[in-house]
Amino acid sequence: MKKLVFALVFVVFSLSTVYAQQKSLPVVHRTCNEVANRRTEIILPQVKGFNIYKGDFHTHTIYSDGAASTTGRVDEAWYDGLDILAITDHYESNSGVKRFFKVAAPYNSDGKPTKYVAPGSTKMPKDGVDPGIKIDFNAIHKEAEWAVGRRGYDLLLVKGCEMARNNEKLGHFNALFVEDLNSIYNFDVKEAFKNVKKQGGIIIHNHPGNIEANNPEWHEAVRKEGLIDGYEVANGFAYYPRIHKRCVDEKLIMLGNTDVHGMNSHKYGTTGWFRTMTFVLAKELTQEAIKEALLERRTIVYSGGDLIGEEEWLNELLNESIQCQLAKENKKSGTRIYTLSNLTSLTYKLRRGNTIYTLEPFETITVSYGKDKKSGKLLYPRFRVENMWVTDYKHPYIDIKVDKK
């Protein structure tokens, strides 16, 4: 009997011990402290009283042929350091919607995917009936606004879409700052442009390349009618020098955009450069101020570490980015040593003769200057900036202002 009692006591004790041990085990153990992603802060100076805002005015989501959701594009833009984002899904090509219809087919009474006929980007359907727009482009923008609000990002969203008619001859165009995206559609792209203009929108010719060679008369006609406000001077890592010159000569807007369909991290993550973007010089981050800055052509294009634009703004940007001070002077020999301090997140490649000084972000270098051999006058810091492009496919020569404080 005693043995039985002892056995029962032992079992109860063992079970209680096991229970106590189990109770002391945590329900969840964090293997690593969760750390929020950090936004890439791109430090840029003020230029002539204007702030520099970073924008991408050409991106795509799953609602056309992109790989990311609208919320994903918003997150990506914020963490990449942007201040402005335009989601410009294709007006005529909505392959993502078609894929969704296939997934949702079992919910249809016949079990077949909903038929989706895209608006004719190349030719009218055989039955002569234009199917028109089938999805709500305003809803895409509202979804982006919801994501920005939910995340609490200080990110300005520009309402837009990308239009295409017969890509081999006419090309692709972004409509930006449009109030009602759904109502601008017209099978005749020129009429669609006019609808954009009626709403006070801006039209940008995307990735122009050499597309105009196929239909130069049409392109010249729409430009003469004032229907084209600007061009992508850079699309991703592609820079278009001839279009750059046209924008300067004809006073048109210059933009640089990613035209991202996949994930930007896959394209730019290992390059060492920020994503392609447009620097917009504006007083404040509002729809009105950004639109005004574009129309006044206060933009600089950033692509692959290169800076593309008008010489005036490139000159101002460089001089506001670099603090140049006289560090040492030998009056007998006429030699002066200057320090150049980069106050920004940009890299500058400064050529002097056969020497290129790579001035990395927040780095300081020294350079020495003597006298001109012919005139005997003192020489001051002057460089050809190798990662800046002005018209005629040239790098500008810029004089660096010396801080006299």
CATH code of the domain containing 270: 3.20.20.140
Q: How far apart are CA 136 and CA 124, in angstroms?
A: 21
Tokens 């406000």 label which residue? Answer: 229
Query: Do 350 and 288 belong to one domain?
Result: no
Note whether 96 and 144 are same-domain residues.
yes
Smallest Cα–Cα separation from 281: which of 41, 49, 51, 44? 51
Residue 202's beta-bridge partner residues?
A: 176
Confidence of residue 30 (pLDDT cuts 50, 70, 90): confident
24 within some domain: no
Is residue 221 domain-shared with residue 247, that is, in the same domain? yes
DSSP string, 4-28: HHHHHHHHHHHHHHHHHHHHHS-S-
Q: Which of 278, 309, 340 is the last residue of a domain?
A: 309
Q: 268 and 152, same structural domain?
A: yes
Query: Within a domain: residue 22?
Result: no
Model's pTM, two decimal places? 0.90
pLDDT at 19: 58
Do 273 and 326 lie in one domain? The reply is no
Count CA atoms closer than 13 A to 39's CA, side-chain side. 14
Q: Is residue 146 part of a domain?
A: yes
Q: Are residues 136 and 266 in the same domain?
A: yes
Check whether residue 263 and residue 383 sit in a common domain. Answer: no
Q: Is the pLDDT of residue 145 over 60?
A: yes
Pair 257, 362 in one domain: no
Domain range for residue 389?
Answer: 322-403
pLDDT in the model for residue 392 = 96
pLDDT for the residue 10:
55
The span from the CA of 225 to the CA of 217, in Å, is: 12
- Report how far residue 117's alpha carbon sits from residue 131's, in angstroms, rounded to the nearest whole number: 7
User: In terms of domains, do 304 and 351 share one?
Assistant: no
Amino acid at site 233: V
pLDDT at 186 over 80: yes
Task: Identify whether 158 is part of a domain.
Answer: yes
Which amino acid is it at 178? V
253 vs 107: which has the higher pLDDT? 253
Read off the pLDDT band of 27 (50, 70, 90).
confident
Domain presence at residue 10: no
Shortest CA distance to 39 belongs to which of 158, 160, 152?
152
E-assigned strand segments in 19-98: 51-59, 84-87
Question: Domain end: 309, 331, 347, which one?
Answer: 309
In a domain, 378, yes or no: yes
Number of separate domains in the chain? 2
- The pLDDT of residue 6 is 57
Q: How many CB atoms lie within 10 A of CB 85?
A: 25
Whole-angstrom distance, CA of residue 119 vs CA of residue 58: 21
Residue 179 in tokens: 């109030």
Mean predicted lDDT score pLDDT of the chain: 90
- Among the residue ranges 11-25, 99-113, 321-335, the one predicted with the least confidence is 11-25
pLDDT at 14 > cutoff 70: no
The reply to whether 243 falls in a domain is: yes
Q: Residue 200's pLDDT band (boundaries 50, 70, 90)?
A: very high
Taking a C-beta distance cutoff of 8 angstroms, is the pair 85, 110 a contact?
A: no
Alpha-carbon torsion (148, 152, 153, 154), positive or negative: positive
Residue 50 has pLDDT above 90, yes or no: yes
Three-state secondary structure call for residue 114:
coil
pLDDT at 7 over 70: no
- Within this chain, do residues 353 and 379 fall inside the same structural domain, yes or no? yes
Measured CA to CA, the distance from residue 56 to residue 259 in angstroms comes to 8
Beta strands in 88-176 (DSSP E): 156-164, 172-176
Domain boundary among 309, 337, 352: 309
pLDDT in tens, 340-385: 999 999 999 999 999 999 999 999 999 999 988 888 888 899 999 9
CA 199 to chain centre: 24
Q: Within a domain: residue 23? A: no
Digit-coded pLDDT (tens) for 89-112: 998 877 777 777 777 778 888 888
